Amino acid sequence: MKKILFSFATLFLGALTFVSCSNDDDIQPADPITISNGAFVVCEGNLGSKIPGSVSYLDYRTGFVANNTFLQVNGRVLGGTVNHALIYGSKIYFVSTDDNTIEVTDRNLRSIKQVKTTDLLGKKKGINPRHLVADGGRIYFTTYGKCLAAIDTVAFSLKDSIQVGDHPEGFTVANGKVLVANSYYGTGKGTISIVDFARHTSVEKKVEGIYNPQDMYVVGNDIYVLDWGKYGDASQNYAQIEAGLKQVVAKNGKDVAETVVANATQATLYRQQFYTINAPYGAGKVAYGVYQVATKKTTALNIAVDSPKSIAVDPQTGNLFITSYTMQGGWPAYSKPGYLQMYSATGKKLNRYNVGVGPSTILFNTEVH
């Protein structure tokens, strides 16, 4: 792995064909999504309290939420610290960080395969899988073993792997390359890796103004980073500072990050607009907003949630979903069941649902008719 100055402008020079699998039934159909049937809320659980991860399901038709659905279907728990999940084709993929496992199920949550990342990559590289992205008939994932790897969606066998930076988290695929957020575990030394699997290269880049990157987004030719910033010293009560949604731009011959939404700690991209939660540690008040990429303007949303955990937008209805911890004695109850709140696109509250412990990821059960 090279750690050198590497302009992000080269990311979009040429359209390389990303890896594909012509006989894979799981490649997403070209037709637009027309129906949303419900939402899966993936709950990470709580490691300290020995509470395993779980899945809650909201059925739009009935308005009812079923909790612990994976356990009910399979007769066993999902795993510890279910950090991320995604739906791709007919399958759902869950990352259990504590168990070094990617759990594969159908959309009814029936288990198909448990993929041990330490078996695929070895104990050092495969430890603590974190995030998933699907592209071209493959499932890509990061691990805390400084690794980005890919499996196919039929045999779930290892197709490729490459070294990236320290403690990688979220990532995205664009123009045949992968942009990886290397968090460096909150030390303020975060970087971004640019991976080209076609050429099997990985370039690690330090971008001025990026400290603790958590996720990557590409809108057109523009690159955005969700950065958790850094923490102040004792005199600042260890407050989280310089967090935000940031755009990578070229200035004076180098790449720098410009903040477009200050203090953003969670974000979801929907139709060229970012819905954000601005809740840095030590903040007196949580703020919510919508940042329009085209106009570069943010509209505030009048939303009240106790202790927000995750955010997502239904791709068909446009409704906004936010999960939260419940409160106990004025503090988030990390080992108690949380809840899901549903809003219209303009921030009008529509409903609230009780879900599992640590609701960390929201997936939408969509289909094409």
Residues 231, 209: Cα–Cα separation, whole Å: 14
Q: In this structure, is residue 359 part of a structural domain?
A: no
Distance CA 164, CA 184 (A): 11
The answer as to whether 272 is a domain residue is no
Nearest to 217 by CA among 142, 268, 288, 262: 268
Looking at residue 221, which CATH number applies to its domain? 2.120.10.30
pLDDT at 18 over 60: no
pLDDT band at 361 (very low <50, low <70, confident <90, very high): very high
For Cα atoms 29, 57, 141, give the angle at the middle one, nearest 5 degrees: 55
pLDDT number for residue 305: 95
Tell me whether residue 274 is in a domain.
Answer: no
Neighbouring CB atoms inside 10 A of 199's CB total: 10
Query: What's the CA gap between 367 and 87, in Å, rounded?
Result: 11
Measured CA to CA, the distance from residue 308 to residue 198 in angstroms comes to 39
- pLDDT tens-place string over residues 310-337: 999 999 999 999 999 999 999 999 999 9
pLDDT (tens digit per residue) in 167-188: 999 999 999 999 999 999 999 9
The Cα 308–Cα 333 span in angstroms is 12
Residue 159 maps to a domain = yes
Query: Which H/E stretch holds residue 42?
Result: strand 35-43
Whole-angstrom Cα distance, residue 261 to residue 226? 10
Asked, for residue 208, whether it belongs to a domain, the answer is yes
CB 93 within 8 A of CB 85: yes
**Does a structural domain hold residue 149?**
yes
| Residue 1 confidence class, pLDDT cut points 50, 70, 90 | very low
- Whether 315 is in a domain gets the answer no
Report the percentage of the chain scoring pLDDT > 90: 84
Instruction: Count up the domains in the chain and report the number.
Output: 1
Is 0.85 surpassed by the pTM of this model?
yes
Q: Which domain holds residue 151?
A: 1-17+113-262
